[in-house]
Chain A
Amino acid sequence: MCFAESSRSAVLKRACFLLTVILLPTSLLAQAADIRVAVAANFARPMKVLAEQFSEDSAYTLTVSLGSSGKLYAQIVHGAPFDLFFSADQEKPLALEQRGLAQSGTRFTYALGALLLWSGSKPAGTSVKELLLTGEFQRLALANPRFAPYGTAADDVLQNLGLLEQTRSKRVLGENIAQTFQFVASGNADLGFVALSQLTPLESVAAQSIWRVPATLHRTIRQDAVLLAHAADSDAAREFLTFVRSERAARIMEAHGYRAPSHSGIQQQ
């Protein structure tokens, strides 16, 4: 099978187009928005509310693209036309800034995450913390510490509790915090480190089946955002960043299990 020279370039074009479609979140193509925001998947729910509130108050519309921070980072590096990047960690916004792809001086921590130890299938009469300390469990789920911030934090906790070695054979790694949640929710892992935001509101969860991990046991889970270079002149984007830093935004984040860095809302246990 061979293509004529002219049709070959047509095929190439089509291939490029297809690649673009696959790499770019489809919502981007669907409508031209005033602000295009790339958001780490774990922050999806608060971002939805933030976007709604912001759109009501301002004249701008907001389009949200979700993905893992790593994928969004790769897309931005390869020219994806986002205005703002809300990462799940600090490393990637910093790397973008160093590569000149983000506007320097705009990087800030928009939310602090909190870690929960959770069991969906805990025997009655014990607490999850006891289970972890005594080793009476089959599988411990955590996000991959190599690249997922909640995984790095969970790894810190195990190290600080001196449990790193004895849990090694029982650990199963989620590629992100959402998958880690699935491992525990489906009962395949009887214990797991998840994000507080995933179980919020906590009213419906039995107190004994969760343990709010003290922030002292792990490095702070900082989620950073940055204004991307190609939107340096976008008033709309800058306005949204200001909104995210507001008191109102902080309350929304708290309702979803995050802390805003400028407001010490959630008390540590």
Chain B
Amino acid sequence: MTLSDTDLAAIVLSLKLAGTVTVILLVLCTPLAWWLATTRSSWRGTVNAVVALPLVLPPTVLGFYLLVAMGPQGFIGEITTWLGLGTLPFTFTGLVIASLLYSMPFVVQPLQNAFLALGKRPLEVAATLRAGPLDRFITVVLPLSRGGYVTAAVLGFAHTIGEFGVVLMIGGSIPGETRVVSVEIYDHVEALQYANAHSLAAIMLVFSFLILLGLYSVQSRSTASLWPSR
């Protein structure tokens, strides 16, 4: 089982993409999930539905709309051109933005569930102990939602690694820039180079499994030590 240089470049690119997307999503989704978990606004349902849309839209459809929206005539494209960034398809930044949308529900929902499971009580307790809103969030909500964060990170990372349709639509298969592992595997299959496809797929499978296994066992251990028998 040998890997070519382009295979290695694709692996590195996939890891870089998934890592970047996961970190950005955890930061972006924290306030969003908090708002969704706590608001009584009538907008909650709408926002929830919009966030969940990528779950039901076929990735290639999402990718197609992104291609159009990010293009020179699209509204995102006009904004990025105006900002001097040019257009985003066929760039790593474009992939990151597309992946953010695509993987967002996988990060928002575990966080939202963790915040909901927390309930109001720990926050009320913290408030009666003189902790202000930000203080409460950092010292109480974050540590108590650790399990939710692990799940969100794992799902966000794994989902971005596995993403294919969107990348295919807006990536342009540029080595080192947009040709991620899933696209590389697809290219091998299309070129009837099944052996190469199998090698790369096997590596990704084992790698993803190990990451998931590692994170989930860390999660179950921390959960076990914190809340063993309740």
Residues of chain A at the chain B interface (Cβ within 8 Å): 68, 70-71, 73-74, 91-92, 95, 121, 138-139, 141, 144, 146-148, 171-175, 179, 182-183, 186-189
Contacts and interface: CB of A to CB of B under 8 A. Distances in A.
Interface of B: 64, 67-68, 70-74, 77, 86-87, 89-90, 168-170, 172-174, 183, 186-187, 189-192
A267 B71 CA distance: 35
B175 to A, nearest CB: 9
Nearest to A145: B191
Nearest to B89: A188
A173 B190 contact: no
B89 A147 contact: no
Given A179-B169, A183-B67, 14 more contacts: A70-B189, A70-B191, A73-B192, A144-B187, A144-B190, A147-B192, A148-B190, A172-B174, A174-B172, A174-B173, A175-B168, A175-B183, A175-B186, A187-B73
Contacts of A144: 173, 187, 190
A195 B7 CA distance: 29
B216 to A, nearest CB: 15
B188 to A, nearest CB: 9
23 contacts: A68-B190, A70-B190, A71-B189, A92-B192, A121-B72, A139-B172, A141-B172, A146-B190, A147-B187, A147-B192, A148-B190, A175-B168, A175-B187, A175-B190, A179-B168, A179-B169, A182-B67, A182-B169, A187-B71, A187-B73, A188-B67, A188-B89, A188-B90
Nearest to A70: B190
Given A146-B190, A175-B190, A188 B70 contact: yes
Nearest to B68: A186
Given A70-B189, A146-B191, A172 B173 contact: yes
B103 to A, nearest CB: 21
A144 B186 CA distance: 11
B192 A188 contact: no
B90 A172 contact: yes
A219 B19 CA distance: 43
Contact of A147 (B174, B183, B190): B190
A175 B70 contact: no
Contacts of A91: 192
A188 B64 contact: no
Contacts of A148: 190
A188 B73 CA distance: 9
Contact of A188 (B71, B186, B187, B189): B71
A17 B67 CA distance: 34
A13 to B, nearest CB: 24
A91 B191 CA distance: 10
Contacts of B74: 186
